[in-house]
Amino acid sequence: MKMDIEPLAQGVVKVILDGRLDINGAGVIDLQFSAIAGSHRGVVVDMTNVSFLASIGIRTLLLGAKSVQRRGGAFVLLNPVDDVEKVLEVTGVTDLMPIFHDNDAALAAVAA
């Protein structure tokens, strides 16, 4: 699992994930992901290249989202593939954070 950061604006960032968000993938990014979530008020997580998502990966996303939201910020997911989106639906995550399939809409949601 790889994680790249793309600053978008002051306090707003896009996190680009690439790989499998299973127990090993989550372990690789946990610390850095949590640090990014803890230091920004707008986070777009680009899931385009996340090929697999297990509950341990959802944990990483949820903890980040809680951290951003607690401080009044916005945390959104962008472009999960079908299998991954099904995992997000089954676990109810789709009711907890916005999920966009359009980059502009995602950016607008965190810019406010």
Partner 1 sequence: MVTDIHSLILRNDRAELARMMAWIDDMVAPLELSPETTYAMQLCLEEAVVNIISYAFSAETQHNVRIDVWRDCNRVIAEITDDGEPFDPLAQELPGQPTDLQSAQIGGLGIKLMRSFAADIAYQRAGETNRLTLAFAG
23 binds partner 1 (CB under 8 A): yes
24: which 2 tokens? 């090993």
Q: Which is nearer to partner 1, 14 or 57 (CB)?
A: 57
Closest to 26 in 3D by CA, of 3, 49, 4 = 3
Binding track, positions 78-107, relative to partner 1; x by CB under 8 A: -----x--xx--xxx--xxx----------
Out of 22, 28, 48, 103, point to the residue binding partner 1 (CB under 8 A): 22
Contact 90, 55 (CB under 8 A): no
Euclidean distance between CA atoms 65 and 45, whole angstroms:
10
From 9-17, 40-48, 51-59, 101-109, span contacting partner 1 (CB under 8 A): 51-59
From 9-17, 31-39, 66-74, 101-109, span contacting partner 1 (CB under 8 A): 66-74
Q: How far is CA 103 from CA 28, 107, 109, in A?
A: 26, 6, 10
